[in-house]
Amino acid sequence: MADIAAFFAHWAEPLRVWLGTALALAGGVLVTIGAVGVLRFPDFYTRLHAASVTDTMGATLLLLGMALLAGWSLVTFKLALIWMFLFLTSPTASHAAANAAHTAGLEPIVGRWRGDDKSEDGA
């Protein structure tokens, strides 16, 4: 029994830290990839994909990594709450934006994309 506990104390701690850091890093990379997509995709609807999908996964990975780093404490609970709220609100906001764009008559680009889109808010 004692050596199993010692084994865990010896290996579980570094593993937890390594895994947590790796997950956080993966989340950061994923979020950045999504942001590049938002910058480079041709129209609003494709950008919506790039933003909302990668955001949810990237946030999950980052928060999971942070929870592993924090260990078992109130911090973990707060991270879980953040994850839950992000999971509720982020897709809702994306839905609201897509709904507003669609009902306002913003057309997606269908077929091959050639050049810049014309629809501007005149800013």
Partner 1 sequence: MLIAAAVAVVVSMALMLARAIMGPTLYDRVLAVNSFGTKTVLLMGLLGFLTGRPDFLDIALLYALINFVATIAILKFFRYRSFQIPLSGRGVGGSDG
Partner 2 sequence: MNFVSSIVLVDIALLAMLGVVAVAIIRLKSLFAIVMLSGVYSLVSATWFVAMDAVDVAFTEAAVGAGISTALMLGAMLLTARRVKTPDKAGARRWGPFLAVFATGGLLIFASTDLPAFGDPNSPANSYVGKDYIERTPSEVGPPNIVTAVLASYRGFDTFGETVVIFAAGVAVALLIGFGERALAFSGQRSVTPEPVSPDDHHMVLRVVSKLLIPLIALYAFYVQFHGDYGPGGGFQAGVIFAVAVILNALIFGLSETMDAVPAGAARAGAAFGVLLYGGVGVVNLLNGGAFLDYDYLFETPAPGSYDPHHWGQHFGILLVELGVLATVASTMIVIFYAFAGRAPEIRDEDW
Partner 3 sequence: MPDYVLSHYNYWVVIVLMMVGLYIVFESGNLIKRLVGLSIFQTSVFLLYISLGKVAGGTAPILIGGGHGGDKSHGGDESHGAEGAHAVEAVDAHAGGHGGAHDAAHGAEHAAEILYSNPLPHVLILTAIVVGVATLSVGLAISVRIREAYGSVENDEIRAADISLGEAEETAA
Which residues of the shown chain bind partner 3 in the complex (CB under 8 A)? 13, 17, 21, 69-71, 73-75
For 38, the token pair is 């938002």
Q: Which is nearer to partner 1, 12 or 33 (CB)?
A: 33
Q: Which is nearer to partner 1, 10 or 95 (CB)?
A: 95
| Distance, CA of 106 to CA of 101 (rounded, Å) | 5
SS3 11: helix
Q: DSSP state, 101?
A: H
Report the amino acid identity of residue 107.
E
Q: Is 119 in the site for partner 1 (CB under 8 A)?
A: yes
| Distance, CA of 4 to CA of 40 (rounded, Å) | 52
Nearest CA to 48 out of 6, 93, 104 is that of 93
Q: Which does 68 bind (CB under 5 to 8 A by kind): partner 3, partner 2, partner 1, none?
A: none
Residue numbers at the binding site for partner 1 (CB under 8 A)? 21, 24-25, 27-29, 31-32, 34-36, 38-39, 44, 47-48, 51-52, 55, 58-59, 62-63, 65-66, 69-70, 73-75, 78-79, 81-82, 85-86, 89-90, 92-94, 96-97, 99-101, 103-106, 116-117, 119-121, 123
